[in-house]
Chain A
Amino acid sequence: MKSIGFCIKKGLLYFLLIALGLTCLLPFLLMIVNATRSGNEIATSFTLIPGNSLKENWETVFDYFNLFQGMWNSVKVSVPATLLTSYFSALTAYALAMYKFKGSKVIFGTILVFMMIPGQLGLIGFYNLCTKLKLVNSYIPLIVPAIAAPGTVFFLRQYVLSALPKSLIEAARIDGANEIYSFHRIALPIMAPGVATMAIMAFIGNWNNYLTPMIILNKNSKFTLPVMMASLRASTDINANQGAIYLSVAISVIPILLVFAFFSKYIISSISAGAVKE
């Protein structure tokens, strides 16, 4: 039914789409292959066939620093920060959507304004505050501020308004449930899909965050993974062996790829939600 020209054009489009997909994957592929090759091999030629220098590269990397320590530090920051963001954003969003109280409009307005304010604006004041509170080299300034995440509150408030019928809470009140109980046992389970979506994005954001940990942390033993990766440049041993560079990048990338493998559906839907929320 369709003409040959149509089929050729469609085939060409698929070809281009796949080529673009390969462009997205190629650097990662090269990274994994090169992580198994020696510095010399990498310097002289490229190939997609793995080499057999993985062990030497591994030793070069871990002689210089313990990437797993960095990973563990990142876990210690990202996991509590994500939990705090999820719980307190849900709580705040629920309050803003369900209760009418003085100042709720002001809070909501401020949230909207702060969603548009670039993150670097308060950076100097933030550091200034942390030095005054003697929080330099502590994880507190990386974790506690997660309690107030304006974007997440905004998203979850919309979610509550569309997914949680007020009558449900009112029915619970008639049955004598107190408000804290209602939030935890009725509202939170209904909000769970929205909270999960935001939690994954918060986790990725925290895990990849570089600028704030870099200014707050200056002890090697405290470095999170991105800060540790950035400090790689200072190591001559590692820079002398490109295989070691690729290996350390590969190790740093794997956890987030695992998260993505399991949660890609949530991640894509949260970006889509960001776009259609207007």
Chain B
Amino acid sequence: MMKKRKGVKNYDNWGYLFVLPFVVVFLVFNIYPVLRTLYISFTNMKISEREAISFVALDNYIRVLTDKFFWNALWNTVRIWGLNIILQLGLAFLLMMVFSDVKYKMKGLAVFRIVYYLPNLIAATSIAFLFSTLLNWRYGTFNQIINEIFKLFGASYNPIDWINDASTAGLSISVIQTWMWFGNSFIMLMAGVQGISKDYFEAASIDGAGRWTIFGKITLPLLKPILLYVAITSLIGGLQLFDLPYLMINKTMSSYNSVQTVVMYMYKFGFETGTTQVGFASSIAYVLFAIICGVSIMQLKIFNRKED
């Protein structure tokens, strides 16, 4: 050991060289922007630092918290995300139950997994454009299909303006989000189930446990860490909802105020010409971050309490 020591120490110094590119780029493009945003959030910067900017302490934050449009955007985000997450995790959970059922032993998991995951691969811009066109109230294929189905039953269908109407726009986006993401959640949950040792299931069925007992007593408890992981990652992603509503709903539509999300609101002040107030936008980013942290901690607490 003693003889080797000098050599080992020398080798370990190679570590510095190997991590150097990562550290430099990480400092410049990840850490600096995050800190820079924090700094800007305490200033009255409008567009860039060429103007005379001054330190305004917590003014931007007070403005965010007293801004009814911010709260409206937050409520929209939570509403759209909430419905989406219930549908998405619910569906993924049901599928996981079906495919892990000890009695039915369903086949074809490999194929179903691929098909269910497919929508998740496509760029949000393409999805947004595809669904805007399919859901168009007058020319869209969806309303045509619904109309045909109604006709089949001899009823008449009054075409719904899915994305223009304030009462259905949020719903449409939640459902499209669900369509895009349930396969992803399902694969993760399924990976968790497959990670559980087969012995547990066999031992339980030898002991005469029914499938619901097996599900409740074995599958569910052992799946908890993955459920938590899925819940937290979809929270972080979901509260940042931007692409779909931004691309599908524009300011001229009557549904705009019911689907504008927090990140869309931030984008408006951060990047859109005419409304740029970078200081204010930065504080929106940090308030959203604080909310995401808060909810993540709550999720952790809830999951851990059940364990006792």
Binding site for B on A (CB under 8 A): 9-10, 13-14, 17, 20-21, 23-25, 27-28, 30-31, 34, 39, 42-43, 45-46, 88-89, 91-92, 94-96, 98-101, 104, 107, 110, 114, 116-129, 131, 141, 144-145, 147-148, 150, 153, 173, 179, 183, 204, 207-208, 210-211, 215, 225-227, 229-230, 232-233, 242, 245-246, 248-249, 252-253, 256-257, 259-260, 264, 267-268, 271-276, 278
Q: Establish whether residues B117 and A275, one from each chain, have CB atoms under 8 Å apart when the complex forms.
A: no
- B1-48 CB contacts (< 8 Å) to partner A: 7, 11-16, 18-19, 21-23, 25-26, 28-40, 48
Q: Given A107-B23, A207-B123, A272-B191, are A148 and B115 also a contact pair (CB < 8 Å)?
A: no
- B94-146 CB contacts (< 8 Å) to partner A: 95, 98, 104, 106, 108, 112-119, 121-126, 128-131, 133-134, 136, 138-139, 141, 144-145
| B33 CB contacts on chain A under 8 angstroms | 122-126, 128-129
Q: Given A120-B240, A210-B123, are A129 and B32 also a contact pair (CB < 8 Å)?
A: yes
Q: Establish whether residues A246 and B133, one from each chain, have CB atoms under 8 Å apart when the complex forms.
A: yes
Q: Which of B15, B139, B194, B271 contacts A95 (CB 8 A)?
A: B15
Q: How far is the CA of A271 from the CA of B188 in the complex (A)?
A: 6
Q: Given A100-B15, A153-B22, A272-B191, are A124 and B282 also a contact pair (CB < 8 Å)?
A: yes
| A9 CB contacts on chain B under 8 angstroms | 104
Q: Given A91-B21, A116-B236, are A101 and B13 also a contact pair (CB < 8 Å)?
A: yes
Q: Establish whether residues A45 and B144, one from each chain, have CB atoms under 8 Å apart when the complex forms.
A: yes
Q: Which of A129, A246, A248, A272 contacts B187 (CB 8 A)?
A: A272
Looking across the interface, which residue of chain A has its beta carbon closest to that of B129?
Answer: A249
Q: Given A101-B13, A124-B37, A278-B226, are A211 and B243 also a contact pair (CB < 8 Å)?
A: yes
Q: Establish whether residues A249 and B236, one from each chain, have CB atoms under 8 Å apart when the complex forms.
A: no
Q: Which of A116, A118, A260 contacts B240 (CB 8 A)?
A: A118
Q: How far is the CA of A150 from the CA of B238 in the complex (A)?
A: 20
Q: Establish whether residues A122 and B30, one from each chain, have CB atoms under 8 Å apart when the complex forms.
A: yes
Looking across the interface, which residue of chain A has its beta carbon closest to that of B243?
Answer: A210
| A45 CB contacts on chain B under 8 angstroms | 144
| B90 CB contacts on chain A under 8 angstroms | none
Q: Establish whether residues A91 and B278, one from each chain, have CB atoms under 8 Å apart when the complex forms.
A: no
Q: Establish whether residues B22 and A249, one from each chain, have CB atoms under 8 Å apart when the complex forms.
A: no
Q: How far is the CA of A94 from the CA of B25 in the complex (A)?
A: 17
Q: Establish whether residues B124 and A125, one from each chain, have CB atoms under 8 Å apart when the complex forms.
A: no
Give chain A nearest CB distance to B86 CB in angstroms: 17
Q: How far is the CA of A75 from the CA of B28 in the complex (A)?
A: 25
Q: Establish whether residues B141 and A30, one from each chain, have CB atoms under 8 Å apart when the complex forms.
A: yes
Q: Which of A27, A30, A120, A127 contacts B288 (CB 8 A)?
A: A120
Looking across the interface, which residue of chain A has its beta carbon closest to that of B103?
Answer: A6
Q: Which of B19, B139, B239, B242 contacts A104 (CB 8 A)?
A: B19
Q: Which of B38, B118, B129, B145 contacts A232 (CB 8 A)?
A: B129
Q: Establish whether residues B22 and A92, one from each chain, have CB atoms under 8 Å apart when the complex forms.
A: yes
Interchain Cβ contacts under 8 Å between A and B, 16 examples: A9-B104, A10-B106, A17-B112, A24-B115, A24-B118, A91-B19, A95-B14, A104-B19, A107-B22, A107-B23, A116-B232, A125-B40, A208-B122, A272-B187, A272-B191, A275-B188
- Secondary structure dominating the interface of B: helix
Q: Given A123-B37, A173-B11, are A252 and B123 also a contact pair (CB < 8 Å)?
A: yes
| A268 CB contacts on chain B under 8 angstroms | 113-114, 117, 187
B286 at the interface (CB under 8 A from A): yes
Q: Establish whether residues B183 and A24, one from each chain, have CB atoms under 8 Å apart when the complex forms.
A: yes
Q: Establish whether residues B106 and A14, one from each chain, have CB atoms under 8 Å apart when the complex forms.
A: yes
Q: How far is the CA of A96 from the CA of B22 in the complex (A)?
A: 11
Q: Which of B95, B129, B230 contacts A229 (CB 8 A)?
A: B129
| B29 CB contacts on chain A under 8 angstroms | 126, 129, 141, 144-145, 148
Q: Establish whether residues B117 and A267, one from each chain, have CB atoms under 8 Å apart when the complex forms.
A: yes
Chain B interface residue count, Cβ-Cβ cutoff 8 angstroms = 98
Q: How far is the CA of A144 from the CA of B22 in the complex (A)?
A: 10
Q: Given A121-B289, A229-B129, are A24 and B116 also a contact pair (CB < 8 Å)?
A: yes
Q: Which of B37, B141, B247 contacts A34 (CB 8 A)?
A: B141
B74 at the interface (CB under 8 A from A): no
Q: Establish whether residues B126 and A120, one from each chain, have CB atoms under 8 Å apart when the complex forms.
A: no
| A278 CB contacts on chain B under 8 angstroms | 225-226, 229
Q: Establish whether residues A13 and B12, one from each chain, have CB atoms under 8 Å apart when the complex forms.
A: no
B195 at the interface (CB under 8 A from A): yes
Q: How far is the CA of A42 from the CA of B143 in the complex (A)?
A: 12
New contact pairs (20) apart from A96-B19, A272-B188, CB-CB < 8 Å: A30-B141, A34-B141, A92-B22, A99-B11, A118-B292, A120-B263, A124-B285, A125-B32, A148-B23, A148-B29, A179-B11, A230-B129, A253-B123, A260-B121, A268-B114, A272-B191, A272-B194, A276-B192, A276-B195, A278-B229
Q: How far is the CA of A43 from the CA of B137 in the complex (A)?
A: 10
Q: Establish whether residues B14 and A179, one from each chain, have CB atoms under 8 Å apart when the complex forms.
A: yes
B179 at the interface (CB under 8 A from A): yes
Q: Establish whether residues A24 and B125, one from each chain, have CB atoms under 8 Å apart when the complex forms.
A: no
Q: Which of B21, B98, B131, B134 contacts A147 (CB 8 A)?
A: B21
B89 at the interface (CB under 8 A from A): no
